[in-house]
Amino acid sequence: MAKAGSSRSGSVSAGNTVIDIEKVTKVYQTGDVTVHALRGVDLKIDRGEFVAVMGASGSGKSTLMNILGGLDYPTVGEYRLDGEPISRLDSDGLARIRNRTLGFVFQSFNLLSRTSALENVELPLLYGDVPARERHHRAAEALTQVGLADRMEHHPNQMSGGQQQRVAIARALVTRPKVILADEPTGNLDSETSVEVMTLFQELWRAGITIVVVTHEPDVAAFAGRVVNMKDGRVKSDRRQEARDAREALAAAVAQREQEHEHEQSELAEQASATREEAG
Amino acid sequence: MTSLQTVRIAGRALMRNKLRSFLTALGIIIGVGAVIATVAIGDGAKSMVEQSFAAMGSNLLIIMSGTTTSGGAHGGFGSQPTLSWDDMAAIQREVTSVKYTAPQLRTSAQIINEEQNWTTSVTGTTPEYFLIRTWTSAAGSLISTADVDGATKTVVLGQTVVDKLYGPSVDPNSVVGQSVRIKNVPFQVIGVLERKGQSASGQDYDDGVFIPSSTFQAKVQGGLKQYLSGVILANATSNDTTARAERQITSLLRERHHLRKGSDDDFSIRNLSELANAQQEGTRTLTTLLASIAAVSLLVGGVGIMNIMLVSVTERTREIGLRMAVGARRSDILYQFLVESLTLSVAGGIIGIATGIATAEELASKFAWPLLVRPQVIIIAVVFSGLVGVGFGLYPARKASRLDPIEALRFE
């Protein structure tokens, strides 16, 4: 496992590590079948990194995400988040960590229906005992940050998928977490909206927030500064890369769409004129 | 998370599904409403029985003369006068558990004033009669000892008689001092009785007039100097002593009438307070029965809440997972769902109380019953519906709080 982490040696100082996973294994017992979801994973993530965790289904990336998110305990091994040993906390302690230190973004947004964007974003602060006025203020701030200042009173069913995911990102941001964990955040979005959401993640990254995204799409992983590949419960590769600029990608995608649109329009016009000629 | 926030979250969740919340609470509304209405109506009926017996007199014993037997045909009680004035005096003197005694000599006669006439019962009696009956005057005075001693031609009118002779809107004070004729004998009205209403059997206590017993014997119904041509009323010193008073009077009268052991009494005693107690007991039993049926419907309402809360937990599995993911502790989830079911049941309880009181009021005005809502019944209803909410909400809430956040988030 030490080999897998070799590519990041040198650039990291110990005090700068925010996620530190050491020899973590996870074994599930489902009936008579024993599933080794993680078979000894070591992973160190520094403050301010943007990491994409990739892998096929069954590679253990979701299990890793659940452990990183404090939703599950490792069977063996140590997990320190921001220096705090998470693997020894009880259920209330984990709830506190999820509330204060982590922010979650899910594939299916998981917004409360019939609840305004503002109230959805306030939800983590409610469990963090933040007073009402500050809750309002911070939620409004987070929504402004994701570009939804004019949608605060909208309900999820009045918003597009991209907007809903941005509300979810605002909800993850609002507690000012150390790390944002995103599980297939673009899985339910079309390619252009996906790039839009990745633009937002890159902005947060530039603002200094540590981001871990689980994805199986190489297109999405390209926007991260580091890609961790999982296979059979182990880290197969771990490399840094030049992150693709999402803004440029977005501009390119928009340009292409417009071009296609024009193309379609001209084709349609041609068809129309052809029909007219036939009719005439 | 403060408890106020928990209540607010629960309230918001319930408001998101208004119709369902209302239908869920309906079981409790009906249950509590039924309990409140039955108990209020039962209490009202009981107090009405109490009132009518109270108008009859408190701890009342009625002593009646014996029967005649001629040619094998038994006459009813009172057909042969066996009670003497001396008997009455002896009861007053010797029976320690009797407070007052009074004769009640009664006949039916026509009362006439200048304009109207009215046939009603004329009762000859003594001042103690009004003490036994606990009747007071609305105007003027009642019969005094001096009236009895002097056999004055004075009369006390009941309200119904006043209504019939002088019209229903007349001031009773203006009636005092007027003259009426009873069997062609002029009497002076010295007082009007307070309105007392009807007895349990529908007899109008206000339809009658009262004159001194001595005057009754001299002017209305003569004869039978030493015997008492009516009944003796006696009241026991308290509700507990009526049975003892009855025994003591029986043995005193048997001794005075020289009755041998084994022979029948030549008089009879009616113990009305026991009758009242029996009637009240009956009302109470009926109320308890109806209230317990209503309480069962409250339990059914509780099961309804549990059912809906279980559905709600399943439906909101993802919400629960999300709340856990953003930092809700298991206890936060437990309280949220518990407070939801508690809010449903207590809100249902409060609406139920309002409905129950409204129903009871409606029925009370329809049957002219007094409405009686005891505050402790309301408190019990609120506490009970709260207990139902917690009791039936606990299982779904625990189920919600024990969900695995990973599974919950993945739930479809």
Instruction: Quote the pLDDT of residue B73.
Output: 60
Nearest CA in chain A to B324: A95
Work out the angle at residue A161's Cα, subtended by the Cα atoms of residues A160 and A166, and round it to the nearest 5 degrees: 100
Nearest to B327 among A112, A113, A124 (CB): A124
Nearest to A98 among B16, B318, B325 (CB): B325
Task: Classify residue A59 by its DSSP letter.
Answer: S
Handedness of CA B24, B29, B34, B35 (dihedral sign): positive
Whether residue B111 contacts residue B182, with contact meaning beta carbons closer than 8 Å, is answered with: yes
B407 to chain A, any CB pair closer than 8 A? The answer is: no
A73 to chain B, any CB pair closer than 8 A? The answer is: no
Contact A112 B322 (CB under 8 A): yes
Task: Report residue A239's pLDDT band, with 50, 70 and 90 as the boundaries.
Answer: very high
Instruction: Quote the pLDDT of residue B190.
Output: 92
A80-97: average pLDDT: 91
Distance CA B325, CA B328 (A): 7
Distance CA B411, CA B193 (A): 80
Which H or E run contains B201? none
Whether residue B110 contacts residue B118, with contact meaning beta carbons closer than 8 Å, is answered with: yes
Contacts of A72 in chain B (CB under 8 A): 406
* Between A210 and B372, the higher pLDDT residue: A210
ipTM value: 0.87
Instruction: Quote the pLDDT of residue B257.
Output: 86
pLDDT digits (tens, 9 = 90+) for B185-234: 899 999 998 887 766 566 788 889 999 988 888 888 766 567 787 888 88
Instruction: Quote the pLDDT of residue B367.
Output: 78
Distance CA B345, CA B343 (A): 6
Q: Which phi and psi angles does A54 have, rounded to 5°?
A: -115, 165
Mean of the per-residue pLDDT values of chain B: 85
pLDDT digits (tens, 9 = 90+) for B72-126: 566 555 556 788 888 888 988 888 888 899 999 888 888 988 888 888 999 999 9
pLDDT surpasses 80 at B22: yes
pLDDT surpasses 90 at A227: yes
Instruction: Quote the pLDDT of residue B202.
Output: 67
A90 to chain B, any CB pair closer than 8 A? The answer is: no
Instruction: Quote the pLDDT of residue B236.
Output: 86
B5 to chain A, any CB pair closer than 8 A? The answer is: yes
Q: Which two tokens stand for residue B7?
A: 């209540």
Q: Above pLDDT 70, what percent of chain B?
A: 93
Task: Report residue A27's pLDDT band, with 50, 70 and 90 as the boundaries.
Answer: very high
Residue B324: burial class (beta carbons within 10 Å; 0-12, 13-18, 19+): buried
* Between B71 and A37, the higher pLDDT residue: A37
Provide the greatest CA pair distance for chain B: 104
Instruction: Quote the pLDDT of residue A9.
Output: 39
For strands B231-236 and B208-212, give the pairing: unpaired
Distance CA A65, CA A53 (A): 9
Work out the angle at residue B261's Cα, subtended by the Cα atoms of residues B259 and B267, and round it to the nearest 5 degrees: 45
How far is the alpha carbon of B322 from chain A, nearest alpha carbon, in Å? 7
Task: Report residue B71's pLDDT band, with 50, 70 and 90 as the boundaries.
Answer: low
Instruction: Quote the pLDDT of residue B222.
Output: 67
pLDDT digits (tens, 9 = 90+) for A105-124: 999 999 998 899 999 999 99
CB-based contacts of B262, cutoff 8 Å, min separation 6:
none
List, in sequence order, every residue forming a beta bridge with B112; answer none if it has no partner. Answer: B117, B181
pTM higher than the cut 0.90 = no
Instruction: Quote the pLDDT of residue A209.
Output: 93
Count chain A–chain B contacts defined by CB atoms under 8 A.
62
Contacts of B2 in chain A (CB under 8 A): 129
Instruction: Quote the pLDDT of residue B223.
Output: 60
Contact B324 A95 (CB under 8 A): yes
pLDDT digits (tens, 9 = 90+) for B383-402: 888 999 999 999 999 999 99
Instruction: Quote the pLDDT of residue B68.
Output: 56
List, in sequence order, every residue forming a beta bridge with B182; answer none if it has no partner. Answer: B111, B185
B281-294: average pLDDT: 82
Contacts of B324 in chain A (CB under 8 A): 71, 95, 98
B325 to chain A, any CB pair closer than 8 A? The answer is: yes
B7 to chain A, any CB pair closer than 8 A? The answer is: no
- Identify which of B300, B231, B251, B315 has the alpha carbon closest to the alpha carbon of residue B16: B315
Could you list the beta-strand ranges (E) of B22-178.
60-65, 69-70, 73-74, 98-112, 117-125, 137-140, 154-157
Of the ranges A6-20, A171-185, B9-23, the best mean pLDDT one: A171-185
The amino acid at B363: L
B242-258: average pLDDT: 87
Contact B1 A127 (CB under 8 A): yes
Contact B327 A95 (CB under 8 A): yes
Instruction: Quote the pLDDT of residue B168.
Output: 83
Distance CA B405, CA B347 (A): 31
Q: Above pLDDT 70, what percent of chain A?
A: 94
Q: Which phi and psi angles does A181 have, rounded to 5°?
A: -110, 125
